[in-house]
């Protein structure tokens, strides 16, 4: 949606009047999203929050995997009676099915929590971009990762965005 609006805004600017005159009035800023994320403290805090939220479930999964591996190893024992081997085989199948379900649930919960944290960070980054762009009177701000050419007069606002986001709670 934002890309569509950006393309529409640029198209409108280029469609009206001379390109040279309007390009002089157009003040362009850019920021490096990956760099901003790597430098703000909220990213590490979000990762820690996700890890903490899932820590007990991860330990439970690790224990189930250890049990699974233990049963598998026991099945390789040649002195195991046929009835014991059959029972362990059933236990292994049940544990494998349960493990698959638990892993799937774990991944879904991880994605849900991480997605919420990422959305919160994105909102803070966007608010910081808006704030810096208004302060610098920028007409348009682009992500530098998508820029094909960056002229000398293009203003990189990544550091200022990092500063603003880092100060926010």
pLDDT per residue as tens digits for the range 16-59? 544 444 555 788 899 999 999 999 999 999 999 999 999 999 99
Distance, CA of 44 to CA of 40 (rounded, Å) = 8
Nearest to 30 by CA among 134, 148, 147: 147
How open is the CA angle 28-26-30, to the nearest 5 degrees?
5
Beta pairing partners, 28: 140
The DSSP call for residue 67 is: H
pLDDT of 19 reads 47
What mean pLDDT comes out for the span 102-129?
96
Task: Transcribe 119-167 into DSSP letters.
Answer: HHHHHHHHHHHHHHHHHTT-SEEEEGGG-S---TTPEE-HHHHHHHHHH
Rounded to the nearest 5 percent, the helix, strand and coil shares of the chain are 75, 5, 15
pLDDT in tens, 68-78: 999 999 889 88
pLDDT of 154 reads 76
Look at the block and give the residue holding tokens 């049940």: 94
What mean pLDDT comes out for the span 94-99?
95
Q: Helices H, strands E: what count in the chain?
A: 6, 3
Q: Which residue has the higher pLDDT, 95 or 150?
A: 95
Nearest to 31 by CA among 120, 145, 130: 145
Q: What 3-state DSSP class applies to 31?
A: strand
Give me 88's structure tokens: 């362990």
How open is the CA angle 28-29-32, to the nearest 5 degrees?
145
With a pLDDT cut of 70, the percent of the chain lying above it is 85
């Amino acid at each position: 949606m934002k890309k569509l609006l950006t393309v529409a805004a640029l198209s409108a600017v280029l469609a009206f009047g001379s390109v040279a005159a309007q390009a002089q009035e157009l003040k362009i800023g850019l920021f490096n999203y990956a760099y901003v994320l790597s430098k703000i403290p909220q990213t590490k805090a979000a990762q820690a929050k996700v890890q903490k939220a899932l820590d007990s479930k991860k330990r439970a999964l690790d224990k189930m995997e250890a049990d699974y591996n233990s049963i598998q190893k026991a099945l390789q024992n040649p002195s195991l009676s046929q009835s014991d081997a059959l029972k362990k085989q059933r236990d292994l199948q049940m544990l494998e099915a349960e493990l698959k379900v638990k892993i799937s649930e774990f991944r879904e919960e991880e994605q849900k929590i991480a997605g919420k944290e990422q959305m919160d960070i994105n909102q803070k980054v966007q608010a910081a971009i808006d704030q810096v762009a208004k302060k610098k009177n920028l007409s348009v701000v682009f992500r530098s990762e998508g820029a094909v050419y960056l002229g000398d007069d293009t203003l990189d606002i990544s550091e200022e965005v990092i500063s603003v986001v880092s100060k926010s709670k």
